[in-house]
Amino acid sequence: MPGEGGLGEVPPRRESIERRGSRLRILGRGFHALSAGVAVGWLLLVALLVGVLAWTARSAIRHSGSFLLLGAEWDPNRQIFGAAPFIVDTLLTSLLALLLAVPVALGVAIFLSELAPPRVRDVVSYAVDLLAAVPSVIYGFWAFIVLVPLMAHTVEPDLARTTGGTLLFSGLPLGVDLLTSSLILAVMILPTIAALSREAMRAVPRQLRESALSLGATRWEATRMAVLGPARAGILGGILLGLGRAIGETIVVAMVIGGGRTYPTSLFSPGTTLATIIADDLTSAAPPEVSALVAVGLILLGITLLVNLGARLLIARERKESEEEELPAHSRPRGLLPPPGAEFRGFAHPGGAGEAEAVLAEPVELPAWRRQLQAQLPGRLRRRRALYAAVAVLTLLCTVLALAPLASILYTAVQNGGRAVVTPSFYTDTMAPACNPATEHNCQLGGIGPALQGTLILIGLASLIAIPIGILAGIYLAEYGRNRFARSLSFLTEVMTGIPTILIGTFVFVLFLAEDPSIAASATTGGIALSILMIPLVTRTTEESLRAVPDSVRESARALGFPRHWVTLRVTLGCARGGIVTGALLAASRAGGETAALLMTAQGFQYYSLGLGRPIDSLTLVIFTTFGTPYPNWQEVTWGATLVLLLVMLTIGLATRILFHRHTAGAEVT
Amino acid sequence: MTASGAPAGVGGAANPATGSAPSGGAPPTSPSPERIERKRSHGLAVVAVVVVVVVVVAALGAAYELHWIGPKSKSSPPGTCPTGVTLTGAGASFLEPLMSQWVASFDSATGNPVSYTDSGAGAGITALQGPTVDFAATDDPLNASQIAGFKGDPLLTMPIAAGALAIVYNLPGITSPITLSGPVLAEIYTGAVTSWNSSSIRAINPGVNFPNATIITVHRQDAAGTTYVLSNFLSDDNASWKSTEGTSITIDWPTAPTQRAITGNSALAKFVQGTADTIGYVDLTDVLNTPGLQYAKVLNPSGKAILPSLQDAGSAIRTMSANISFPALNDTQAWTTISMVNSPAPADYPLTTLVYAFVYLDLNDGYQSSLAKSQVIWEWLNWTSGVGQNEASPLYYVPLPSVLVTDDHQGLSALRYDSAALPTCS
Amino acid sequence: MEGPKLQVSGLNAYFGSKQVLYDLSLQFPDRAASAIIGPSGCGKSTFLRCLNRLHEEVPGARVEGSIRLDGQEISRLNEVAVRCRVGMVFQKPTPFPNMSIYDNVASGLRLLGVRSRDRLDEAVLASLKQAALWEEVKGNVDAPGIRLSGGQQQRLCIARALAVQPEVLLMDEPCSALDPIATTKIEKLVLELKRTYTVIIVTHNLAQASRVSDHTAFLYLGKLVEFGPTQKIFERPDEALTESYVRGRFG
């Protein structure tokens, strides 16, 4: 009978619990080892990447030395490689993009977290997330076709007129220049900053806002006093993440920056950033230039590293200052309480006298001006409420401004590609021959069949590799990593989210070229390159989702008798499931929108895939290579591909919201 | 006061009307006989389905790779060419429209698909160096460093088409084409001439009313065959250009304050068309396909101002082909200096070029090489230089003159496989 | 004694379609402390938040009935004006994390437009003294507010609320997050404050209510069961339900 046993007899139920417990322990420890192994493997991969790149760059570094950083001429024919103007242009465009994006992003964040009614808030934040998911090749396409003419014909001439065409706005306003590049970068980093700022604001405890309101603040004043301050750390994090993204953005900037190779003289000057010189020249470069371009990539990586380092330090300092540490009453914070003896006297009887310290409130004589304050209130209040209304309108304007590019992109894509998208053969046909309606009367639309298949295969392959690795690494960092190794790896992962993707493609291509050239350009290398892109994203979102699970959950599970590793596997992971899956989906969609990493690896292919060892096409490659073509049927296919890609992003975003309700802000990191 | 008779259940409910309440310690009554309804989570199921679909698709790709499924390369009777072999090529984007027609026709004629990626002239050569493609196509011959990149493996350099470069510009007030020349273009692109109504330009355009506007020079940001053609043309009669900038697919462009670099042939055309006072260079095919794009007459060595067209470009190619003694196809080094610009005949357009295809001379050195594939490569090159030429003019490309067609077919016999002569097929 | 400071008549409160307060009517006298007691979830905090119109922060919240401050209907006044006169202290101490002690206390005054450094100094000193915190922080008012202990933070919040010279001070379970020593100090503070202000304190601690308040209201499931002088409520309540509760038979 259960529970009934003599001295030497273990009741069967208890014995099976013990057996089960030890089995769980073994399983748990095995899992710990596995995740640690994966984390180490990830670190080794990053080290390999940096190593291969450094190895490729060594001849240029030896040959040019500091001229790379300080020289101002880039002539591959004479092997002169000086990237100083590129460094200047990179910093200039990124910082200007930040300057333009941050106020608007904050406005959007404030609108979403404080002012918007719930339904509006849901729709708008979904739209902002969609803005973040638009692939860069589409932004580049749109920027060249819509933004550049707008800048060249309207905005820049107006700017030149109002400033008299001096200093920052001197030179001819042609639309392809540093200003437009900064603007499109601002559009691209805005959703990241807005989403992270909003999360930071939402994380501020509700009661802080209510305290401010109870003091008689208007809603704007309450936000200013009680929300923006504590949210500063998160907002700063978002801003720096945006900066990192701006620094490494390649494809879009290459299309609109105008290719100037000297120091800029105004915002209307054309320029070249560190990322765009790589994009321009790498695929056609001879080995000396390849080496120099990879060296430039390392400079870029170095700048990204510095930005992230600065971000970490700043945020850590902010967190320390604003952290709400509930100190127990009998501990002593620095210099503010009287020495211990006077403080703790055991539990005093309620209502009893016995304390000798002067803690009694003193009746105070209040000056007349304080009483007068109330009388002055109505007038002041009108002004304050007017300020609140103005701020509300301003944030609404910011939101509209932020979403305008998305509306424009969608509108243009639907207008030009709408017909293709509703034609069934569009999804199965290969590209048709270029068709000039003047000479051909038998023009075929063609289709994106191979590109669609290629995108799916590449995403599938990349996800198969990246998602398990990313989740395991994220679990390790969140659950088991309390040591220096884990902290460094976490930091490194964050840096890797900002690496220019063309470098990832270069790394994989160079590695395979040395090993097995026949598959250097194939679906395999394309998938591997995309997976390297995805792993840091999945790792970060997994880590954050797990960290968001409160310790009380873990403790309750432990109290039920589960061994530690089992708790992680079953309980914590289960709680974080939504965030993890969302993060994985968003990383996959990010991979689907990638172009630069595929230029050399997947290479592009006009037919349905012949296997993982052969080149393969993707929607992004089609858009990138065919954009601007004068042939109407190819134009329509390009726009159709754009629209399909946008619709896929839209659907994934919608699906993750509906299925998982909330997702971590870190998932928008792209 | 004691509890009322209301059952407690989960979280005892009091009857508000009577204001009484159950006591806090009332024991739970027996559960009602309903079943516990569990809601299944849909989210993970959907994701699982998607993952399965993706894995299946990827697995299919892998199966293709292992030849477990997919079209079997049929073994053909000896002497007939293999079918079902896919070739891959990369190179100049200028060639892409013609290629797209060629591959369709070739596939229906021979059953072999060809995939051409327009990654750019330089990128095509890099891909061939890998090798990650079967052939490359450019509108410029290889330079020394590109040849060096092949690490001694000999190549076959084969002209497969010809083309012309148009100088495009945007001067809204001027309706008929303006005239430009090599020296004037060199002055414009070096910044010696900065305004449209400068004396150099007016000298060769009598009677044209130019605006007093700064010339905005536009060039290619990425490596481009068109850049090669222009720089070749400018080097041809301009010694200072030749020594400073030279001839290449990538030039260290002289700094002019109002210059812009655009990525891509078509994008450059679009930019010039949309921005006033610009000047740029685009291949003739794209220009003829872009209504409304202004393009200039160019002075040829006879002093005539020629507006580019298929006729005068074709004529120039024919003239030059008759005058030049082309090297053997397997002598890649010698092709480096072959230049088709500045044809001497009076009616010829001076900015012309050949378009080349490159393959490894010994096709065993090639990408995923096999005898069957090598035979198809031969078939492809033979076809493009032969039957394929008929498809050039309708697409605004200049066909090869017959002398080059003959050269090509003879030169193809130099192709080898594994150091032995390539057994050809028909 | 003048009329009641705060007069509530027929107050019904709803969250969406769910009613949470049923027809509450009571009067809070001036310069006295009134406690609101009752089991958890009975609407005490909701009721308190209606008194300074903080319920409006919850979407879908709605009240009917009348709440008069000195005879003026607060729903007709500007809510900012109401909150200047009816201050609130919350359960968990909420000093503004990025502000110093000084700035925390001065924040309400700055909202009102006080800029003069002298006046702010004066007011901050007075408020800190009123909240019995001055002695403990006087060397260090520029230190961050969150470095204080829990009890000190709560007194800081009280000082902050007092700085704007409210007439009524609402306290929502102010001691529930504090240790017994800090609780004692806060209770002593309330005893002192009620001489100047109208204090309304929600508490689930019956002993505290009996120590601190002059009047007590017993709320149960959103309805007012009984309101009267504290001594009466605890020793000889009219309602049997009240007696059950104060005797600890439930809740």
Q: What is the pLDDT of residues B343-380, one digit of tens each?
A: 999 999 999 999 999 999 999 888 888 889 999 999 99
pLDDT at position A399 is 94
For residue A658, pLDDT over 90 is answered with no
pLDDT at position A395 is 94
Contacts of C223 in chain B (CB under 8 A): 16, 19
The pLDDT tens digits for A51-87 are: 999 999 999 999 888 899 999 999 888 889 999 999 9
B165 three-state secondary structure: strand
Mutate to test the interface with B, among C246, C249, C250 (most CBs of B within 10 A): C250
For residue A11, pLDDT over 70 is answered with no
Q: Is residue C251 part of a domain?
A: no
Residue A610's nearest CA partner among C183, B353, C3, B114 is B114
pLDDT at position B215 is 93
Chain B residue at shortest CA distance from C220: B19
For residue A522, pLDDT over 60 is answered with yes
Distance (Å) from the C-alpha of residue C224 to the closest C-alpha of chain B? 11
CB contact under 8 A, C85 and A359: no
CATH number of the CATH domain containing C235: 3.40.50.300
The structure tokens listed for C164 are 């704007």
Residue with the two structure tokens 């405890």: A205
Instruction: Give the Cβ contact number of residue A408 at 10 Å.
Output: 14
Q: Nearest CB to B252: which of A77, A174, A615?
A: A77
CB contact under 8 A, C150 and A364: no
Domain ranges, residue C105: 6-246
User: A249-288: string of b/e by CB count within 10 Å (b at 16+)?
Assistant: bbbbbbbbbbbbbbebebbbbbbbbbbbbbbbbbbbbbeb
Q: Is residue C95 part of a domain?
A: yes
pTM for the full predicted model: 0.84
Task: Using a pLDDT cut of 90, give the percent of chain A over it.
Answer: 40
- What average pLDDT does this structure show over A138-161? 91
Distance (Å) from the C-alpha of residue A223 to the closest C-alpha of chain B? 35
* Chains in contact with C via at least 3 Cβ–Cβ pairs below 8 Å: A, B
pLDDT at position B43 is 65
Q: How many CB pairs under 8 A join A and C?
A: 189
CB contact under 8 A, B1 and C240: yes
Distance (Å) from the C-alpha of residue B18 to the closest C-alpha of chain C? 11
User: B73-85: string of b/e by CB count within 10 Å (b at 16+)?
Assistant: eeeeeeeebbbbb
- What average pLDDT does this structure show over B169-192? 93
pLDDT at position B103 is 93
* Least confident range of A264-278, A350-364, B33-47: A350-364
Contacts of C184 in chain A (CB under 8 A): 348, 350, 355
Chain B residue at shortest CA distance from A656: B43
Q: Is residue C215 part of a domain?
A: yes
CB contact under 8 A, A605 and B55: no
Chain B residue at shortest CA distance from A264: B257
Distance (Å) from the C-alpha of residue C49 to the closest C-alpha of chain B? 23
Residues 298-327 of A with CB under 8 A from C: 321-327
For residue A1, pLDDT over 70 is answered with no
**What does A314-360 look like in DSSP terms, one character per residue?**
HHHHHHHHH------TTS--TTTSPPHHHH--S-PPTT-----SS-S
For residue B60, pLDDT over 80 is answered with no
Q: How far is CA B245 from CA A68, A419, B233, in A?
A: 21, 47, 12
Instruction: Please give the Cα distance from A573 to B104 (Å, whole number).
Output: 53
Helical H runs in C19-63? 44-51
Chain A residue at shortest CA distance from C131: A361
Mutate to test the interface with B, among A147, A606, A607, A660 (most CBs of B within 10 A): A606
- What average pLDDT does this structure show over C166-177? 91
Instruction: Please give the Cα distance from C214 to C202 (Å, whole number).
Output: 13
A518 contact B CB<8A: yes
For residue C28, pLDDT over 50 is answered with yes
pLDDT at position A515 is 84
Q: Which residue has the higher pLDDT, A564 or A143?
A: A143
The pLDDT tens digits for B28-47 are: 444 455 545 455 556 667 77
Contacts of B16 in chain C (CB under 8 A): 22, 221, 223
Instruction: Please give the Cα distance from A69 to A82 (Å, whole number).
Output: 6
CB C54, CB A214: distance < 8 Å:
yes
For residue A13, pLDDT over 80 is answered with no
A574 contact B CB<8A: no
pLDDT at position A623 is 92
Instruction: Please give the Cα distance from A40 to A348 (Å, whole number).
Output: 55
Q: Which residue has the higher pLDDT, A38 or A569?
A: A38
Contacts of C221 in chain B (CB under 8 A): 14, 16
Distance (Å) from the C-alpha of residue C128 to the closest C-alpha of chain B? 43
Instruction: Please give the Cα distance from C147 to C134 (Å, whole number).
Output: 15
Residue with the two structure tokens 């699970």: A549
Q: Nearest CB to C250: which of B16, B19, B24?
A: B24
Residue B343's nearest CA partner among B248, B200, B242, B232 is B232
Mutate to test the interface with C, among B1, B2, B15, B23 (most CBs of C within 10 A): B1
Distance (Å) from the C-alpha of residue A201 to the closest C-alpha of chain C? 14
pLDDT at position A669 is 32
Chain C residue at shortest CA distance from B19: C241
* Least confident range of A484-498, B41-55, C135-149: B41-55
- What average pLDDT does this structure show over C175-183? 88
Query: Domain segments of chain A: what residues?
Result: 84-287+388-409
The pLDDT tens digits for B287-335 are: 998 889 999 999 999 999 999 999 999 999 999 999 999 999 989 899 9
pLDDT band at A171 (very low <50, low <70, confident <90, very high): confident
B110 contact A CB<8A: no
Instruction: Please give the Cα distance from B397 to C40 (Å, whole number).
Output: 86
For residue B70, pLDDT over 60 is answered with no
CB B363, CB B128: distance < 8 Å:
no
Any idea what the Cα angle at residue A24 is, between residues A20 and A29, rounded to 5°?
Answer: 150
For residue C216, pLDDT over 50 is answered with yes
Q: Which residue has the higher pLDDT, A313 or A539?
A: A539
pLDDT band at A598 (very low <50, low <70, confident <90, very high): very high
Contacts of C241 in chain B (CB under 8 A): 1, 19-21
Instruction: Please give the Cα distance from A496 to A49 (Å, whole number).
Output: 11
Residue B361's nearest CA partner among B426, B425, B420, B424 is B420
Q: How many CB pairs under 8 A join B and C?
A: 19
Instruction: Please give the Cα distance from C164 to A603 (Å, whole number).
Output: 69
Overall number of domains in chain C: 1
Q: Nearest CB to B1: which of C22, C244, C251?
A: C244
Residues 279-318 of B with CB under 8 A from A: 286, 289-290
CB A246, CB A94: distance < 8 Å:
yes
Residue C198 bridge partners (DSSP) = C168
Cis status, amide bond into B131, omega within 30 of 0: yes
A520 contact B CB<8A: yes
Q: Is residue C1 part of a domain?
A: no
The structure tokens listed for C76 are 């007709």
For residue B24, pLDDT over 90 is answered with no
Rg of chain B over all Cα atoms, to the nearest angstrom: 33
CB contact under 8 A, B1 and C241: yes
The pLDDT tens digits for A425-463 are: 999 888 888 887 766 667 888 899 999 999 999 999 999
pLDDT at position B25 is 40
Instruction: Please give the Cα distance from A596 to B92 (Å, whole number).
Output: 19
**Which of the 8 DSSP states describes residue B222?**
S
Q: Which residue has the higher pLDDT, B205 or A343?
A: B205
Task: Using a pLDDT cut of 90, give the percent of chain B over it.
Answer: 52
Task: State the average pLDDT for chain B.
Answer: 84
For residue C235, pLDDT over 70 is answered with yes
The pLDDT tens digits for B270-282 are: 999 999 999 999 9
User: A498-517: string of b/e by CB count within 10 Å (b at 16+)?
Assistant: bbbbbbbbbbbbbbbbeeeb
CB contact under 8 A, A258 and B127: no
Task: State the average pLDDT for chain A.
Answer: 83
pLDDT at position A118 is 82
Q: Is residue C220 part of a domain?
A: yes
Distance (Å) from the C-alpha of residue C141 to the closest C-alpha of chain A? 10
CB A540, CB A493: distance < 8 Å:
yes
* Least confident range of B140-149, B155-164, B353-362: B140-149
The pLDDT tens digits for C56-76 are: 888 888 999 999 998 889 999
Instruction: Please give the Cα distance from C184 to C188 (Å, whole number).
Output: 6
Distance (Å) from the C-alpha of residue B195 to the closest C-alpha of chain C? 60
The structure tokens listed for A88 are 């200047």
Contacts of B246 in chain A (CB under 8 A): 77
pLDDT band at B105 (very low <50, low <70, confident <90, very high): very high
B19 contact C CB<8A: yes
Contacts of C44 by beta carbon, 8 Å cutoff, 6+ apart? C36, C37, C38, C202, C219
CATH hierarchy code of domain A84-287+388-409: 1.10.3720.10
